[in-house]
Chain A
């Protein structure tokens, strides 16, 4: 059984205008996304800014209320849970945020930050046990247990991200949504955090929904990857084969846009014209057709379904094969 099963998830934000704040339209931030995550697996989620990847990550764990669809975690539909039942369930999933500065309360010590969830969920019988568990957690992310008495500003960016990871691990979650956990870090520190997330996955068996815009990092850390464009999944598949042989023209462009270190590589560069269109007024038919280099007449009118192009590879393109 899958750990997480998301079906046809939609998050639409109303756009209000005028004197009586009438709803003038909807931002279709996430528009019918389905996927599943197995226990202990990493699913990468890539896309450019505004494609809805962060909204999707938050909607999955109900930090944003989804408009429609279902999110089934270990057999329970999170959208149907209320009150105490939901709070109990929240122990099974956690989140790591992009900005390690703004996601840690500057007025709490590291011990309080990491220990807060233990207290809320009654996971430690007394203060001494809690202290011990906080020390354990700090050690597991490569910090000193003595750091529990310090405040977030006393740490570097990479160390703060480690604190955020320790906080997420405190309740022994089954799923962690990592929203661009390394984008705000220095290049030489990014690898430390990537390795740490990998080690912790092996030890704790936790599954990640890993959101990032850097395809190389996602390819490295994930078993499967999902590519989003304007609120929709355009391609999904096993990460290595997807990066080597993309089927959707958007994925192809995304991969060819990543600058490569080797100056001798004579790669075919595929430049996309224009910008990502507004999700309030997405193009008709295939949302990618105005920028697509191989678009045909039907792409303007028919919305392509996500279909299995080759075994294990799904793409939402009429022409993919």
Chain B
């Protein structure tokens, strides 16, 4: 059986001709059913673009798929007709985003928004009873009353729960969460992460979670892919990657973040800044900032190699 999601060598550009900016350059990922994959990286590394590509949510143009395949249940999303795409979008693949306040429509009541995915994907279940069930599922108290609320009447955490309920309405196989807790306070973040973990077990779905917080990875992930400058630089089981990161970027990232209750002295900062799309360095894209850079790093672009079973790293000097 094919994996639930397989991205093969995805290449994506914005714009055309000589001004085209290559945002993704050969991204490959696999997500098995029932697993949680965390996509880690800093702004501009392409993690959100990768996530949006899975249900073809990027407008084309300006985006342009130059190569690669995105297989959902073995079917290539990039070659689908509109009807099949509609079944994928919000159907097989559900999305939640960073700013729940910006994703909800401010002029419609919660119930009016929640019924939409039901009407589209499960018309038989488009009832108030089902909506109440969904809100209960995501832990919203007094769901009957909340259906009549407008989004601004809810707190940030409750808004995110409504977004999750909307994503779950079509009973998706894959939930894509793009920085779902970045805009929330830590105690609310802990609530939402607990909810996602619980839902995954109860509903048996897969989660693709995008974050820049390595703590969240340790909390929830089965596998991790670290992205830098439009490429996956390391991909491995979560506990292995967090205990023994192989790519210099992952290592540096982990050392530069202070951790609660651990004496660290001076932080080991990564020099320089994240390169912008279109200005990625030649050779290995991390080489100008790499603490263990070798002379050949600026010349030859390294490939993603299997360093250990099920552990991939884009660095020939990982040992």
Query: Footprint of B on A, CB under 8 Å?
Result: 48-49, 156-159, 186-192, 194-195, 198, 213, 215-217, 219-220, 240, 243-244, 253-265, 269, 271-272, 275-276
Contact = CB atoms under 8 A, between A and B. Distances in A.
B186 A48 contact: yes
A46 B202 CA distance: 35
B256 A188 contact: yes
Nearest to A187: B212
A262 B260 contact: no
A261 B187 contact: no
A192 B269 contact: yes
Contacts of B191: 271-272
A287 B264 CA distance: 35
A259 B268 contact: no
Contacts, number: 129
B188 to A, nearest CB: 7
A321 to B, nearest CB: 21
Nearest to B273: A156
Interface string B32-64: 000000000011000000000000000000000
B100 to A, nearest CB: 13
Which 3 residue pairs of A and B lie closest in terms of their CB atoms, listed nearest first?
A259-B215, A191-B269, A220-B258
A156 B43 CA distance: 12
A275 B155 contact: yes
B274 A188 contact: yes
Contacts of A159: 273
Given A198-B266, A261-B217, A275 B158 contact: yes
B301 interface: no
A262 B186 contact: no
Contact of B267 (A194, A258, A259, A271): A194
Given A48-B186, A257-B189, A275-B158, A243 B267 contact: no
A269 B190 contact: yes
Contacts of B243: 262, 264
Interface of B: 42-43, 155, 157-158, 185-191, 193-194, 212-219, 221, 238-239, 242-243, 252-254, 256-261, 263-264, 266-271, 273-274, 289
21 contacts: A48-B185, A49-B185, A157-B273, A186-B212, A187-B253, A188-B289, A191-B267, A192-B269, A192-B270, A216-B258, A216-B259, A220-B264, A244-B261, A253-B187, A254-B186, A257-B187, A258-B215, A259-B215, A259-B218, A260-B215, A260-B259
Contacts of B221: 263
Contacts of A217: 258
A187 B261 contact: no
Given A188-B253, A275-B155, A262 B213 contact: no
Where chain A touches its partner, the secondary structure class is: helix
A140 to B, nearest CB: 16
Contact of B257 (A192, A216, A272): A216
A213 B213 CA distance: 14
A261 B254 contact: yes
B193 A259 contact: yes
Given A260-B219, A263-B239, A263-B242, 20 more contacts: A48-B188, A49-B185, A186-B273, A187-B42, A189-B270, A189-B274, A192-B269, A192-B270, A215-B186, A216-B258, A216-B260, A219-B260, A219-B261, A220-B267, A253-B187, A255-B260, A257-B186, A264-B239, A272-B190, A276-B185
A98 B267 CA distance: 20
